Structure 1
């Protein structure tokens, strides 16, 4: 499948997801408008103080995380290939009085440098569930590195690839960790609550952890840290339990695996 085909399928799928996500309890846009913070505390701590920074958010979807960084004082630019998602994001920025500190651009990741006319940033942020939509991480990392000014950093928080190996309970290995072949998916529902999709087909890729770190290092970035975590943002497996902070983890007393990870790297 060539790039035009998978990009078309994925864009149509995500354009369709927007109408579902915008009304979902999962994204809770009314709560966001009322001041709810969608960012995870550990990500805020690991990103550090962003006040006064120029921040680029790749694959920003409807812009809630992007605007949460703007609420913390950053000047933000969100990029997403779904025009429907960007329309929602721009509306939120206007409603929340953040339009002067937040802009949103329609572009796929690989074309972002051209869409942003070579502009550079103090920080690049990418949240969970982003890399699975990209076939070539070397190309992605080159975009990230070229988007940063010297001394700028990228922060990536992602779902751990080990989770793709396990069954629905999270108890048995049923998948090949090193299988990076494209997967054509056809699902009537997205990962949130809500009605069925009309554009149900998407194409996704798995990326082992070593591939992610090597791509960033190969783009000339210095790795500050790689941190694996035993918690995740949703009920990934039936065996997970929700903790007091709202994150999900395996029950105490039973073996665990990494469910998410975070990487921070600097352009020197």
Structure 2
């Protein structure tokens, strides 16, 4: 199966559903709401005047959230429908931003060999990529010396637990796929999709760190988080827009964030050394 064209058709079908969904709340975003999570803003730091590339940006709400904080942003996604919506939302918000349609592996050429202070990749991106080493090499080529990658992702450990409670191992952590899914609806609900097939790939934490370090980037930190952005399991409890296991119950990592710097002097305010929490 040609994963790229299958997934492109699937995501082009998702775009109008997502734009109209309560999950993304485009109306609230245009009115000024940010899509970034507090820990992302804290871990990335001040972006004022810094060039930021957002790979796999979907229709650009996270990208534009960084722009509202002062970054000079460029968003890239393989879905032409998503990029069209991103440009329209940017214009509606009056936020300067550039958006480019391209596969992430073609990002260096598509962005004209430009380099950036920050390369950002957000939630739900890596499962669409078969080759993490190639992705990390692309990131490294986009970074200025002293710039950094910031990745915020759903934790792969959460995907091996049972769907009912999230407390029992039910799936193979090392089964990288490809995994072919037939799903009539996207994760925001809404109308039935015209293209329902998607192809995904599972990557462990070790795969991510190995790819990043293998591309010559220095890992500054890897933070694991005990909450997520949606009700991944029925047992999770909503807590001010986050979802956690109930108080007193065992917890597993549900999200993680990683920052890694390019060669040269480390970025100002970097954590220094690899840490975990």
The answer to whether 1:39 aligns with 2:36 is yes
Give CA-to-partner distance per residue, 1:106-144, whole Å, 9 cap, x none.
Answer: 001001111011110000001010000000000000000
Instruction: Choose which of 241, 249, 262 in structure 1 pairs with 2:244.
Output: 249
Distance 2:69 2:204 in 1: 32
TM-fit CA distance, 1:193: 2.6
Gaps of 5+ in 2: 264-277
Residue aligned with 2:28, SS? helix
Alignment of 1:2-81 (within 5 A): 5-81=2-78
Instruction: Choose which of 89, 94, 97 in structure 2 pairs with 1:97.
Output: 94
TM-fit CA distance, 1:94: 0.8
Residue aligned with 2:70, SS? coil
TM-fit CA distance, 1:65: 0.4
- Is the 8 Å Cα contact of residues 25 and 193 (structure 1) preserved in structure 2? no
So what's the TM-score if we normalise by structure 2?
Answer: 0.94
Number of the residue aligned with 1:234: 230
Distance 2:16 2:66 in 1: 24
Distance 1:171 1:197 in 2: 31
Q: Which segments of structure 1 move beyond 2 Å, counting only runs of 4 or more? A: none
Distance 1:234 1:228 in 2: 16
- Is the 8 Å Cα contact of residues 26 and 193 (structure 1) preserved in structure 2? no
CA RMSD of aligned residues (A): 0.7
Distance 2:116 2:35 in 1: 22
The answer to whether 1:107 aligns with 2:102 is yes
Number of the residue aligned with 2:140: 145
So what's the TM-score if we normalise by structure 1?
Answer: 0.97
Alignment of 1:173-184 (within 5 A): 173-184=169-180
- Is the 8 Å Cα contact of residues 154 and 265 (structure 1) preserved in structure 2? yes
